[in-house]
Amino acid sequence: MSVSFTTGVASCRTRHYLGGMATITQPEVALTPAAAARVAAIAAKQGKPAILRLSVEGGGCSGFQYKFGMAEDVAEDDSVVETDGVRLVVDSISLDLVRGAQVDFVDNLGGAHFAVTNPNAASGCGCGTSFSV
């Protein structure tokens, strides 16, 4: 039996019951409320659904780079997390490289951008858009 619920940063956690004991599985990826608000604003302005796609491509100065884009729908193999009505989708291949990561929106003196905190990244570049594992 599995039960899904929303807590904390509005991320889904699944509770699995194994012989009377419960284990809680963290979400595959997380979307902060700040990032969700920014995606919602962009989606409203563009007249698109509030779906942000995160993917990983080869390239960048560290080997892999993050790619963000607004999505029209969710693919069959996507992992999905929802925060405040906004969905973050990650394809199954990229998920292996960003599992456990958190996507935030940062607006400071350095500029406004989506930022990924990725526990799988062994190193990254100075601007934060590429990483290595």
What is the reported pLDDT for 58? 83
Confidence of residue 70 (pLDDT cuts 50, 70, 90): very high
pLDDT digits (tens, 9 = 90+) for 86-113: 999 999 999 988 999 999 999 988 889 8
CA dist 130 and 61 (Å) reads: 6
Q: What is the pTM assigned to this prediction?
A: 0.74
In DSSP notation, 74-95 reads --TT-EEEEETTEEEEE-HHHH
Is the distance from CB of 49 to CB of 123 less than 8 angstroms?
no
The β-bridge partners of 53 are 69, 89
pLDDT of 18 strictly over 60: no
Residue 5's pLDDT is: 29
99, burial (CB in 10 Å: exposed 0-12, middle 13-18, buried 19+): middle
